[in-house]
Each structure stands twice: as structure tokens, then as C-alpha cells.
Structure 1
């Protein structure tokens, strides 16, 4: 599983970085990917990474500011030209449906696939998608307009199947092996119940990725980022500019690091940098955060972060 940074700038593009967009590339066994925010020219940025527009499955918008949505109608339109025919679901704040449909109506845009909208309500925390292997929760952040952060959680699965042990308990190789590997409990012909934890080597913990929209420090950021393998947090301004950051609903580098530390996150990727900072200055911004939370990077356009599946936890109490 990998996060691609398609745009890492705030407000407007410059020669070194485009406006905000990120992509979550699903595990190798999955064929698709998800998009988070879609600033202007995101479809151009996609040409520089190994993601096919036709394989896009879901779009999650954090808020309706232009640097996060101006690229959306064009990208959705181009997906048809790229051979995309499978459905796409779009999640975002109230108004996202009207925005996209109005642009399509005025431009005569027709899609070759079904586009479904899921507008979010400003609740404390809610599950907006549950697809079996992954679930996505959304929660409201602190910004100048309604804005959300997203927590993508992968379900834990049994570790490697201990085939010899399963056979010794009467499980025949075949479909029952497959069910146990996928975490299902099976019942043998004689009524014996075999649980996955009885015949597997520990538990493989599911990964968690938290992608926040624009925000000042808040409790919801901590909730969404709790023990995340990767937290993606905006860092619009350098340390010392907290007052200016909060005036516009943003955070500084040190505040992003404090959130990662308080949430118990394992890694932090900072993005959404003000145009006042050149890419050469990003090392300084990363160093500010690293003084609080060492495992941090300052993301650049087209960079990526791999989130590896952990080894089985042999002391886990179950799925």
C-alpha cells in the first residue's frame, strides 16, 4: 500500500509544486486506487506516476476550497476518455454534488460510467465506507469552511496457515483452507469448530493511513490519527507562525509533529506548504518537526510513502 503525493502546495501552484492532491495505491492484490482531493491540473500530475486513471475507484474530498477541487470535473471527464467504465464513488462536504453536476451541465460533459455522490454531514466521527478489507472514517476538522479528515483502516487478518496443524485437526485441504486463511471459522462434518487462530501463525495487523484536510490543531486530528502507520498532515507554515496559521485555519510544522506524537502515529508526512517556501527550504521545515517527532518527511510532488504490512503478531489476542 502506497501514498503518492500529486500536489503538495497550498493555495496556488508554483514552479516547484502543484496544489493539493494525494493518491492511495491499494495493495498488490487490489487493482484500483483512491484519490484524496483534486486541485487544478491533478490529471496532469497523474501522468508522472504509475497510476491509471481508468482504475480510479473512489474520490475523497476534504473541503470545497478551490486548491482542493478545481481539478475534479476535468479529471472525472478524462476518465471516460481513458477507458474508465467502472463506477466511481465521490465523498465530500455538502455542495460537492452540485459543484460537479453544474460544471458537467454547463459544459455538456457525459460520462461513460456511473458516478455516485456521498455528501458528508458534520458529525463527530462516522464510517463513510466499509468494503470488507478496508473501512474509511471521516471527522470534521477546524478550518474556515467545513473540512474533513479521513482514516483508512485495513482489517487485521490471520497469519500464515499452519497446514499440518489444520490437517491434524481434521481439516481437509481445499475450500476450508481458503476460508480459514481469510479469517472465517469453519465447522467440520463431525461438528468440530475450527477457528482461524487455532491453525494460523498469529495475526497480521491491518494498516492505518490518516489523511487530513486543512486544519488547525484539534482533538479530531488526534482521533483520526490514533496509532496510524502514516499520518499525512498539512504544515502550511514554519514554526513560530502559529498565530498566522490559525487565522486561516492551518497548522505549522511543529504542530503537525505534536499531533503525530500525541496520536501515537508511527510516521508523519507533511504537505500543503505555503508558496513562500522553496523546495530547498523543505529540509529546514522537516528538521523543525523532527525535533518533536523524528520519523517525519516533507513531501514533494511525485514522492511516495510505502506502508508495509507488518509481520504476524504472535501475541495478539485475536482478530
Structure 2
């Protein structure tokens, strides 16, 4: 899994940063791409990136403010124009379905693929054998949500020494054991997967939040996550302004990361008053005083999510 930031600015785009959109690349895990928010210009950012709309499987919208959704109609239309026919599922708060249907209908945009739009108010949104996605409400002027992506634990590696003791050589039976199946040897003996698999590999947890003030939903979603993406619209000297506009400071993001016990924190959604990376450095310093493993998200930044 890798995070790829397509936009890290708040409110409106600047010459240095586009508005919010984050891609979660899972090419090894499921050969697909998940997108979190889709601010205006997101498809242009994708054109400048290694990402492909043909890989896009799911879109998760945190809230209905324009800097998080205005790029969605164009992206959906362009995906069809490129000849992509694979299905797409979109998750978002109440209103997302009407927004998509209205804009596509009025603009006479053609979507030649199956598209399912799921409105939600939190809870478990998706689960299969490999992943679980949960959502919880945050504290913002608009109904805003965060998402917790949980990779389920993976089977441990095969214990090659034990397999050799059984006299089993590499081949199709290795694959069956790796999948958790039992296999029969030629002499009538059985080997069970639990006999030859090492400790399972812990799945990764990624939490991506929408706009929010500090609230209980943040820490519930972020608990012991490998990586937390948290807005940091302002520095702490503007904490009153942040509260008034239902946003967070870099210090508040770091405090949430520390309380939740996350492993790494990425700050994003920066106010336009912080014009470039030099102006953002004080936000990073402020956060690192509380949570050392903090980084600034940058447009077109690709960040691998390592296993523990």
C-alpha cells in the first residue's frame, strides 16, 4: 500500500498546491486504486502522476464542501471517455448521490460503466476477505466523516524446515498450505496449515480524515493506526480561528495522533496563508514537539505504508 497526495491545500487551489484528494494505491494487494475526496482539478493532477483511472475501484468522499467534491463529475466522465468499463463504487455522506446524478444529467455526461453510489452516516461500509473500511462522523460545519481502512492479517510464511522434515518439496501443495488448506501425503499422513505456517503478518491500518475540529471520532478512527492523515489548516496561534471555522491546528493533530497511539502522522489541508514548504515548516515543528513522527504531505508525494 502507498499513499499518493494529489492535493494538500484547503479551500481553494494555489500555484503550489491543489485542493484535497488522496489516493491509496494497492497494486500488490488488490491491483486497484482507492480515492479519498476529489477536489476541483483532481483529474488534471492524475494526468501528471503515475496513477491510472483504469485502476480506480472506489471513491470515498468525506464531506460535500466544494474543495472536496467539485472534481468528481469531470473525473467520472473522463473515466468513461477513456474506455474504462470496470465498476466503480462511491461512498459519501447524504447528498452525494443527488450531486453526482444532477451534474452528470445536466451536463449530459455518459458513464459507460456500472457505478454504485452509497450514502452513509458512518459504520462499516465495506468488508471482504482482505479489507475492512469503517467510517465515523467528525466535527465540521458540513456533515464530515473520516475513514479507517483495515488490512486483515495475512497468513504467516511457510516453515520450510518443518516442510523438509515432512519430506515435502516445493510445488502445488505449498500453495494449498499457504491458503490454509490441509494436504495429504502419499503415505496417508496429513499436514495441516497450522502445523507449518509461521506467525501471521499483522495487517496495516490507514486512517484518512475529513475536515474536523478535535472530537472523539478522530481518536476512534485513528486508534493504533499505522498512518493517520489529519488536517492541519492553521498553526496554534490561530486556534481560535480554527475553532470558529471547524478546523484543526497542527498541534491539535499531533495531540490526537499521540492519544490514539498511531505510528505515523501526515499533516495536510493547509491554509493558503502558508504559501510554500518554507512557510509550512513552522506547522511541522509545532507538531513534532508533541509527536515526533510527523510529516508534511506534499502534492505528488508518494509514501509507502510499511508493515510493522
How would you bin the TM-score normalised by the shorter chain? over 0.9
How many residues are matched?
A: 305
Hey, what's the Cα distance between the residues in 1 that align with 2:105 and 2:168?
Answer: 59
Q: 2:262 maps to what in 1?
A: 265
Structure 1 residue 112, shift from structure 2 partner: 1.6
Q: 1:186 maps to what in 2?
A: 182
Hey, what's the Cα distance between the residues in 2 that align with 1:193 and 1:30?
Answer: 29
Output aligned runs, 1:1-319, within 5 Å. Answer: 1-121=1-121, 123=122, 126-166=123-163, 168-169=165-166, 174-182=171-179, 184-186=180-182, 188=184, 192=190, 194-196=192-194, 198-279=195-276, 280-310=278-308
- Whether the aligned pair in 2 keeps the contact of 1:209 and 1:228 (CA below 8 Å) is yes
Q: Which runs of 4+ in 1 moved over 6 A?
A: none
- Whether the aligned pair in 1 keeps the contact of 2:178 and 2:193 (CA below 8 Å) is no
Any unmatched runs of 5+ in structure 2? Answer: none
Structure 1 residue 173, shift from structure 2 partner: 5.4
How far does the alpha carbon of each residue in 1:161-187 deviate from its partner, in whole angstroms, 9 at most, with x for none?
Answer: 1234135458775544223323x2536
Change (3 A) 1:179 1:120: farther
Q: Which moved more, 1:27-36 or 1:262-271?
A: 27-36
SS of residue in 2 equivalent to 1:28: coil
SS of residue in 2 equivalent to 1:227: coil
RMSD (Å) for aligned C-alpha atoms: 1.8
Structure 1 residue 82, shift from structure 2 partner: 2.0
SS of residue in 2 equivalent to 1:245: helix
- Whether the aligned pair in 2 keeps the contact of 1:215 and 1:249 (CA below 8 Å) is yes
Structure 1 residue 300, shift from structure 2 partner: 1.5
Any unmatched runs of 5+ in structure 1? Answer: 311-319
TM-score (norm 2): 0.93
Change (3 A) 1:171 1:144: farther
- Whether the aligned pair in 2 keeps the contact of 1:214 and 1:249 (CA below 8 Å) is yes
Structure 1 residue 47, shift from structure 2 partner: 1.4
Structure 1 residue 195, shift from structure 2 partner: 3.7
TM-score (norm 1): 0.90
